[in-house]
Structure 1
Amino acid sequence: MNRNLKLLWFTDASSIFGTSVYTLALTLLSLQYSDSALGAGAVLFVSVIPYFFLGIIGGVIVDRVDRKAIMLFCGWTRGLLTLSIPIAHAADALTLGHIVTVSFVMTCLRAFFFPSIQASIPLLVDDKKDLNKVNAYFGSTQNLGLMLGPSLGGILLQFDLDVAELLYIDSVSYFISALLISFIRIPKPEKQTGSGKKPTILQDAWRGIAFISVGNKEIAIMIASFAAQLLIGAGVVQLGIPKVLEAADLGGQKSYGFVISIVSLSSMLSSFWLSKRKVLQPAKWIFAGYALRGVSFFLLGFPGSMLGIVLSALIQGFGNTISGTTLTTVLQLRTPNEMLGKVMALRSSVGNVADAFAYLLIGGLLSAFSLPLAFVAVTVYVFGTTAIFYGLWLRQARQQARMETPGQSVGM
């Protein structure tokens, strides 16, 4: 890796570490300040609302404005926002409204920060053939951060540190990422040539949507299947796992950070393993990852012991890596630079909107049904949607293959 790519790598790792601590704290604070899983799901749902109206607009801005400036602003602002929660707690002034407001604005900033990072990686890679390897390396440190954050949080909670005080750590990590960004040199987005009138932001947003849907039906199927998986995934992780731990008398909220760290450890090791592999048929890797998530969710419904939960976490981490990293690489390779921000923002928006509904769906399931029944329903849904979308992708890939000239490949 060159100097700029390494700095971006460290920036991403520090930011992800902060986000992992923030997500742990937000989940536990939502459960703490609400009276049910459904209530906590509603709080988490509100925190993701910005993606409904920002989403791809953030990507359009990323493709028009200096990406480094965007990341700097988001980094410093996120640090200050998260710092406000433990300060308010120390002053005995922390309220549910404060938590929801901070999480709402944090999501607005993420709508710009995430596509800026993802759109910058291909610009800094010396050889595009190494892109999947670089994404795997980014994924490994992301998962290291996701592992260390909840682990540290879980350890500190065992020593009776208040949940809100975890966000001091979060704030520092965001400040470090902002400092690292200041030393990176990132190429500015290419200006469109031609005598035509510059498209409006809404027109530019529509170009991104059209590119990833009408212009590439195979990718559209991939994004739709990605959304279908996340429609329950985040809810299971952030609401289902704490409930399973509580029901099995395995430590409840204090063990939650440990379990999430196991997921991240599995993902990190899987990322290193994936970086050494040639992914010749990425679609099969993506859908195999989704199927493994279904196995993981089924095991959560019948844990029996902490060993069963750990096994579920290990499988989930591996499935997350082989599907998520591969999907990212496919999108980056198929997208021109002037569209990268929009495409990555669209992917992020689809995922986060799906996450928002996942909190409500899983919160409702857990409130209405027993844990085994709820997780059986989730498992059936995962396997069913994976099979349907894989069938649709195969059909589209075969049609595309028939249309292409001899010697060309479908590329998926």
Structure 2
Amino acid sequence: MQILRPLAHGPIARLWLGQSLATIGEQLYRIAYAWLLAGMIGSGTGFALALECVAVLLVALAAGGFAARCSPRGSMIGADLARAALALLPIVATAGHRLSVPALLVPSVALVAMRPLFDPALQASLPCLARDRQILVGANALMDATARIGRLVGPSVAGVLAAVLPTVGLMGVTSACFVASALAVHSLDPRLAPTRADAGGTPWRALGQGWRAVRAQAGFWFFLCAGGVINGLWSVAMWLALPLALRQVPSHVAGRDGLALVSFVVAAYGAGNLLSNLVTGSRCVQRPVRWIFSGQAVIAIGFILLGALSGHVTSRPAFVALTAAAGLAGMGAPLSDIPMATLRQSLFARQDIASVFRLKMIFDWSGMLIANLLAPLALRYAGASTLIVACGTGIGLVPLIGVLAPRLRAASVAWSVSAPRPLPRSREAALPAVHALGHRPGPPSS
């Protein structure tokens, strides 16, 4: 299978293993955090999630200048170790009988804010480790699979550990997982030299580099805007409305601890993620835009069903149907994310990848900020289940608009590929590489 080919390369295999452990730990933390916070402040959890978005945006805006002075390895190790320490703070607060909303919120916001340091460095590193486009597709699928494995294994582990550990104890496991990830990245020292991912030493010059690179690719702006909309609606549906909806499930279905119910639904979503990842990562994606839109449509259908069913979970068969809907929603993300990652890394030169990805993060988290600020207001007029349906409907409108946009249809043909080819290593080499991808005007090809 193409997705397994990069595992023959030791550096990619070690990086993947470390990322798998980190994402499992992160899921343990997110489930524990969402459950504790929803129990403390209810629908106000939306404002807490919005605060996380603000922190990510601020770090993303400021991280470009810092990244220009650090190697990808240094950025990733530093972010992992910081996250390991932050994950322990709620445990310390609990031991001192001082667990409160601020004691949960402050370290959680800081932990999420490390992502603009880690994720762009990881994206810029993959083309350095991959030799050609085929291996890069497999490597992207593997790294995408880490999030899917985390959503499958993490909630399953959380459901088991909830019977023997207090909820806050899951955060200690998270800390150990981040330490393991830092050790895996450290082993890649000879492979991850600085790539000058960001131009200049100021945040604005670094963002300007990404801005100019995206402007050169007609149609790519749509995907940045679409990412903000989809990620905003997804975060509200998954981490705010879903836990609130499942808190209303009768105890004879949910069991003594409703946290286990949330864990199993999220695990079903992760199972759909992983299954779809294995299929998508083993295919040669020749028309990436079609795959991207198809994945977004599947996500929309899954969330509409998830919302419709979450308000009627009164028996075990209804719960099985709910988990099936979650699995369907999960199948859409890899169909969209893997082709998008490979397209982004193929269109842009290596030194532009981190800047473009950081620009993507700004759009994504801006969408999440706006959606989570509006979500508590929406919950005043609609129930949690209705809000999930509304989020799914909004996600479904994105690919519909994209299909109807003439300029994007032309770009989708231009971005089609038919064979493996070397990746652009510098900005000077990017233009020929883009032409090799078929980036030229003309009629649609068969």
Q: How much does 1:366 deviate?
A: 3.0
* Equivalent residue, structure 1, for 2:240: 239
* Equivalent residue, structure 2, for 1:3: 10
Q: How much does 1:75 deviate?
A: 1.2
* Equivalent residue, structure 1, for 2:209: 207
What is the one-letter code of the residue matched to 1:368? Answer: Y
Of 322, 336, 360 in structure 2, the residue corresponding to residue 347 of structure 1 is: 360
* TM-score, normalised by the number of residues in structure 1: 0.90
* TM-score, normalised by the number of residues in structure 2: 0.83
1:20 aligns with 2:27: yes
From the superposition, tell whether residues 237 and 209 of structure 1 become closer, same or farther in structure 2 (CA, over 3 Å).
Answer: same
From the superposition, tell whether residues 190 and 178 of structure 1 become closer, same or farther in structure 2 (CA, over 3 Å).
Answer: closer
What is the one-letter code of the residue matched to 2:51? Answer: V
* Equivalent residue, structure 1, for 2:307: 301
From the superposition, tell whether residues 89 and 283 of structure 1 become closer, same or farther in structure 2 (CA, over 3 Å).
Answer: same
Q: Check conservation: 2:295, 2:331, Cα contact below 8 A.
A: yes
What is the one-letter code of the residue matched to 1:215? Answer: A
Of 147, 155, 160 in structure 2, the residue corresponding to residue 155 of structure 1 is: 160
3-state DSSP class of the match of 1:279? coil
Of 176, 181, 186 in structure 2, the residue corresponding to residue 172 of structure 1 is: 176
CA distance in 1, matches of 2:436, 2:79: 46
Q: Check conservation: 1:58, 1:342, Cα contact below 8 A.
A: no
From the superposition, tell whether residues 343 and 120 of structure 1 become closer, same or farther in structure 2 (CA, over 3 Å).
Answer: same
What is the one-letter code of the residue matched to 1:204? Answer: A
Which is bigger in relative contact order (C-alpha 8 A, separation at least 6)? 1
CA distance in 1, matches of 2:383, 2:35: 21
Q: How many residues align?
A: 400
Q: Check conservation: 1:235, 1:363, Cα contact below 8 A.
A: no
Of 36, 39, 62 in structure 2, the residue corresponding to residue 32 of structure 1 is: 39
What aligned pairs does 1:328-367 form with structure 2 within 5 A after superposition? 328-367=341-380
From the superposition, tell whether residues 302 and 76 of structure 1 become closer, same or farther in structure 2 (CA, over 3 Å).
Answer: same
From the superposition, tell whether residues 215 and 162 of structure 1 become closer, same or farther in structure 2 (CA, over 3 Å).
Answer: same
Q: Check conservation: 1:56, 1:342, Cα contact below 8 A.
A: no
* Equivalent residue, structure 1, for 2:264: 258
Where structure 1 has 5 or more consecutive residues not aligned to the other structure, the ranges are none
1:278 aligns with 2:270: no
Q: How much does 1:172 deviate?
A: 0.5
Q: How much does 1:268 deviate?
A: 1.0
What is the one-letter code of the residue matched to 2:236? Answer: G
1:268 aligns with 2:274: yes
Q: How much does 1:385 deviate?
A: 2.8
Percent of aligned pairs with the same amino acid: 21
What aligned pairs does 1:15-164 form with structure 2 within 5 A after superposition? 15-34=22-41, 36-37=42-43, 39-157=44-162, 159=163, 161-164=165-168
1:391 aligns with 2:411: no
Q: Can you list the C-alpha shifts for 1:66-95, whole angstroms capped at 9, x where unaligned?
A: 111111111111111111211211221222
Q: How much does 1:410 deviate?
A: 4.1
* Equivalent residue, structure 2, for 1:183: 187
Q: Check conservation: 2:219, 2:407, Cα contact below 8 A.
A: no
Q: Check conservation: 2:22, 2:177, Cα contact below 8 A.
A: yes
Q: Can you list the C-alpha shifts for 1:343-368, whole angstroms capped at 9, x where unaligned?
A: 12222232223223332333432332
CA distance in 2, matches of 1:368, 1:215: 43
